[in-house]
Amino acid sequence: MPAVEMAVSRPFRAIAMASLAALSLALPAALLIAPPAFAQETSVSFGTGSGDTKAPINVDSDTLSVSQTDGTAVFEGNVKVAQNDMKLSAPRVLVVYNQAGDEIDRLEATGGVTLVSGEDAAEGDRADYDVVNGNIVMRGNVLLLQGNSTIASEVMHVDLDSGSARMEGRVRTILQSGKE
């Protein structure tokens, strides 16, 4: 019986060793050729990080509809939102108040959103601003412009207090060195 085990295991061992040898040669080459394929998340700075998320939020739009029943307000048409040095523009912004109705809980901007803070600007399909925690999540075809550099992803999480952002979902970037 041991002779049979040896005969069966040798071909499999040879195949496994050949596969490992091929993989050891191919893997470094694959890593050199396509490192961006492995990038799914990256962290970057965003804005000044000096904004007071408790500061008043100014909204300017073409129309406003208020619903007392569900505690919401809908701003539509060329909507401009400003808080400190953060500016947001979109065709439509839904404002959701807390249960007491005395504070803004969140803003939901849709229809193509532009977010500017300091020298940084981002665009996306929508942005949800959690006013209580000072976080903005942009989703859908997000493009971040920082000087000469651009970063594209599916989702961007912005922490307004710290001035940082995290890009997720097939992150692509073009970095400019500043040298010509």
For the chain, how many structural domains are there in total? 2
Residue indicated by tokens 């040095």? 85
pLDDT (tens digit, 9 = 90+) per residue, 62-88? 999 999 888 899 999 999 999 988 999
Q: Does residue 25 share a domain with residue 87? A: no
Residues 149 and 60 in one domain: yes
In this predicted model, what pLDDT tens digit does every residue of 120-172 receive, in sequence order? 999 999 999 999 999 999 999 999 998 888 899 999 999 888 888 999 988 99
pLDDT for res 32: 37
Q: Which residue has better confidence, 53 or 124?
A: 124
Residue 134: give its domain's CATH number: 2.60.450.10
Asked if residue 23 and residue 86 are part of one domain, the reply reads: no
Tell me what the pLDDT averaged over the chain comes to: 78
Give the Cα separation of 140 and 112 in Å (integer): 9
C-alpha to C-alpha distance for 139 and 151, rounded to whole angstroms: 14
Range of the domain at 116: 41-174
Any domain includes 180: no
Tell whether 50 and 22 lie within a shared domain: no
Say yes or no: 55 and 28 in one domain.
no
The whole-model pTM stands at: 0.72
Q: What contacts 61, CB < 8 A, 6 or more positions away?
A: 75, 76, 77, 78, 79, 80, 93
- The answer to whether 163 touches 49, Cβ cutoff 8 Å, is yes
Looking at the fold, whether 46 and 89 belong to one and the same domain comes out as: yes
Within 8 A by CB and 6+ apart from 166, the residues are: 41, 42, 43, 44, 156, 157
Torsion over CA: 58, 60, 64, 70 (sign): negative
Q: Are 25 and 47 contained in the same domain? A: no
More confident residue, 50 or 12: 50
Counting every residue written for the chain, the total comes to: 180
